[in-house]
Amino acid sequence: MTTTVSPALRPTEQVYAGHPEKKVTLYFLVTGLVLLLIGVAIGPLQALNYAGIDVYRYLPFLKSYYQGLSLHGVLNALVFTTYFISGLLLYLPCRALKVRPNLLVAWGAYWTMTAGVLMAAAALLTNNATLLYTFYPPLQGSPLFYIGAALLVVGSLIIGVQVIVIWTQWKRQHPGEITPLVAFMSVATWMMWLIASLGLVVEVVFLLIPWSLGWVKGVDPLLARTLFWYTGHPIVYFWVMPAYISWYALLPGQAGGKIASETMARLSFVLFLLLSTPVGLHHQFADTGISMSWKVIQMLLTFLVVIPSLLTAFSVGASLEIAARLRGGGGWVGWIRHLPWKDPVFTAQVLAMVSFIPGGAGGIVNASIALDSEVHNTAWIPGHFHITVGTATTLTFFAVSFWLLPHLTRKPLASVKGALWASWLWFWGMIIFAIGMHWEGLIGIPRRTYLATATGLGDMLARAQIPMALTGISGMVLMVASIFYFSVIFRTLLGRQRVAESAEVPIPVSESLEQFEAREAGLSAAGMKVAGAVRLMERLWIFFALALALVVLMYLPMLIGMVLNTHLLPGQRLW
């Protein structure tokens, strides 16, 4: 006799039985979110500081504004994103290719990353790495911080290489087949990250770790800075591309429509792979010791990376319009009302995209040498990246968590209303924040300064009353938003109820218009005509090699010059 166990009572392990990679994915996502919670909790303090209100003096556990800011920046921008992306871009391509990843490798990556984060956290929490997330030498932190940072990146690279290997094997086993869109985009993203992370790895492993351990006497600050920004700009594409994967390949279906054009979607990822890396110099327009010609060339390349983003705006807009018209919408703009605004998965992503419009436009300003000189190192810059990585990416990841956590755990989302409130409040909080900070930046107020106790900015502060108030208010809005968000997430994760396997939230992979038309015409998936461009783009290794060649061309001569002409400086601890 067999006993049937009701779905609600199944032991936990069985949830992952069919797909054990679900568990490691869940660990990546949840660890990332818990660390984000800590980083986000410090956010309102930073915002209040930019409103001229000093809360730090009352906090026994943070020595200074700068320690708080170091934690906020490292946890939110580096740690959360890396965990979330490693989980997401392992799971999605493996499911799309119907391949189970080697779990030992995946767990190895997870624990490498976590060991690194614990080491870095120990240094940060004891005030031994108050370096901000850019850790420019010759400010010198504890070796634990640098080793931890290196392990974090190594963990992500393990996952990246694993996904690329899985795809290469899949290609060998499926000659002539076209890689599913989600897997194609994930592989392109990991290939980009493989090239882009080199700078940071070299900086940390060869310069900073030996120097902080006292094995070498000095480090060249200009060389270290150049290596840092070699990774430091493409890392933002590493943050944005997973969001684009969701917008391109998942959102159209979630909205009830089709992917407008698979060919163009693939093209934009190939462009990202080619152009993302040789652009880091636009963070160094104000640096002396780098020739203007290199700066101008990399400015042009930075402008060119705008193109895949403009393509994305077109494509995603078109797929949403298709969705709305299929849902019965009409008119020039009237269709917008017919989109599923009551679904937080949809709404959070659309708000993320909206924030990316001013975010991207501000990025073009920062990349223009003539305009950058007005805003470099001012409050404008954090204003900019809070509506790009802080909203376009983060709010998209919130949307992903609203379906992916229920999918992985088979626990239903605790509150749809709460998730909607979290999304709207996060969006408006960030918009208000961005208005305040961009405005303060134009007045000339520097970024990341303990403004509440600044002594030399008297007349500027007098002119910045309104934007400073906006920044302070936004911090409070964002605090409420994060309470909504994390309570929905933790109530979901801690919920007892599990749905049956048959009622599992599906992976929302969208159909493309090409596939839809072929299906309508009665063609099978195999019989579908594939565009020549798609076949060409399947050769991702060629584009990888081209991207690598372009980076070598754009960076090697400059780096050789710096290496031949180093000026080593000892470390300083000034906090």
Segment 504-543, which members bind other proteins (CB under 8 A)? 512-514, 517
In the complex, the smallest distance separating the C-beta of residue 131 from other proteins, rounded to whole angstroms, is: 8
Q: Is 385 a catalytic residue?
A: yes
Q: Is 237 a catalytic residue?
A: yes
Q: Is 438 a catalytic residue?
A: no
Q: Which position among 8, 107, 213, 459 is part of the footprint of other proteins (CB under 8 A)?
A: 459
- Rounded to an integer, what distance in angstroms lies between the CA atom of residue 471 and that of residue 386? 12
Select the span of 186-194, 282-290, 340-348, 483-491 touching other proteins (CB under 8 A).
282-290
| Annotated catalytic residue within 110, 133, 237, 346 | 237
- Rounded to an integer, what distance in angstroms lies between the CA atom of residue 358 and that of residue 391? 11
- Which tokens go with 298? 């990399």
- Rounded to an integer, what distance in angstroms lies between the CA atom of residue 324 and that of residue 309? 22
In the complex, the smallest distance separating the C-beta of residue 465 from other proteins, rounded to whole angstroms, is: 16
Select the span of 33-41, 164-172, 273-281, 302-310 touching other proteins (CB under 8 A).
302-310
Q: Which position among 7, 52, 108, 138 is part of the footprint of other proteins (CB under 8 A)?
A: 138
DSSP for 250-261? Answer: IHHHHHT--BS-
Check residue 222 for interaction with other proteins (CB under 8 A).
yes
In the complex, the smallest distance separating the C-beta of residue 239 from other proteins, rounded to whole angstroms, is: 22
- Rounded to an integer, what distance in angstroms lies between the CA atom of residue 395 and that of residue 339? 18
Q: Is the peptide bond before 308 cis (omega within 30 degrees of 0)?
A: no
Select the span of 32-40, 160-168, 428-436, 562-570 touching other proteins (CB under 8 A).
562-570
Q: Which position among 12, 102, 168, 453 is part of the footprint of other proteins (CB under 8 A)?
A: 453
Of 270, 409, 363, 259, the closest CA to residue 319 belongs to 259
Number of residues that bind other proteins (CB under 8 A): 73
| Annotated catalytic residue within 72, 282, 386, 407 | 386
Of 285, 278, 84, the closest CA to residue 198 belongs to 278
In the complex, the smallest distance separating the C-beta of residue 57 from other proteins, rounded to whole angstroms, is: 13
Which residues lie across from 569 on neighbouring strands?
219
Residues 157-186 that bind other proteins (CB under 8 A): none
Q: Which position among 20, 412, 444, 495 is part of the footprint of other proteins (CB under 8 A)?
A: 444
In the complex, the smallest distance separating the C-beta of residue 453 from other proteins, rounded to whole angstroms, is: 6
Q: Which position among 59, 336, 457, 473 is part of the footprint of other proteins (CB under 8 A)?
A: 457
Query: Looking up tokens 């880091």, which residue turns up?
Result: 280
Q: Which is nearer to other proteins, 224 or 345 (CB)?
A: 224
Residues 345-404 that bind other proteins (CB under 8 A): 364, 368-374, 376-378
Q: Is 448 a catalytic residue?
A: yes
Number of Cβ within 10 Å of residue 554's Cβ equals: 19
In the complex, the smallest distance separating the C-beta of residue 407 from other proteins, rounded to whole angstroms, is: 29
Check residue 288 for interaction with other proteins (CB under 8 A).
yes
Q: Rounded to the nearest 5 degrees, what angle is found at the Cα of 247, between the Cα atoms of 320 and 264?
A: 80
By the 8 A CB rule, do 247 and 349 touch? yes
In sign, the C-alpha dihedral spanning 46, 48, 53, 54 is: negative
In the complex, the smallest distance separating the C-beta of residue 201 from other proteins, rounded to whole angstroms, is: 22
Q: Is 447 a catalytic residue?
A: yes
Check residue 331 for interaction with other proteins (CB under 8 A).
no
Q: Which position among 294, 314, 428, 486 is part of the footprint of other proteins (CB under 8 A)?
A: 314
In the complex, the smallest distance separating the C-beta of residue 307 from other proteins, rounded to whole angstroms, is: 5
By the 8 A CB rule, do 526 and 184 touch? no
Q: What is the DSSP letter of 505?
A: P
Q: Which position among 307, 476, 507, 559 is part of the footprint of other proteins (CB under 8 A)?
A: 307
Check residue 66 for interaction with other proteins (CB under 8 A).
yes
Check residue 15 for interaction with other proteins (CB under 8 A).
no
149 burial (CB, 10 Å; 0-12 / 13-18 / 19+) is: buried
Q: Is 384 a catalytic residue?
A: yes
- Rounded to an integer, what distance in angstroms lies between the CA atom of residue 359 and that of residue 434? 9
Is residue 433 within a helix (H) or strand (E), and if so which, with residue range?
Answer: helix 416-443
370 CB-near residues (< 8 Å, 6+ apart): none
- Which tokens go with 211? 């120097």
Q: Which position among 52, 53, 263, 340 is part of the footprint of other proteins (CB under 8 A)?
A: 263
Check residue 53 for interaction with other proteins (CB under 8 A).
no
Residues 72-131 that bind other proteins (CB under 8 A): none
Residue 420 CA neighbour count, 13 Å, CB half: 9
- Which tokens go with 44? 């309102």
Check residue 261 for interaction with other proteins (CB under 8 A).
yes
- Rounded to an integer, what distance in angstroms lies between the CA atom of residue 482 and that of residue 477? 9
Q: How far is CA 440 from the centre of its chain?
A: 25
In the complex, the smallest distance separating the C-beta of residue 563 from other proteins, rounded to whole angstroms, is: 15
Q: Which position among 77, 147, 164, 322 is part of the footprint of other proteins (CB under 8 A)?
A: 322
Region for residue 163 given its phi and psi (left: phi exceeds 0; alpha: psi -120 to 50; beta: otherwise): alpha
| Annotated catalytic residue within 448, 498, 544, 555 | 448
Positions marked catalytic? 233, 237, 384-386, 447-448
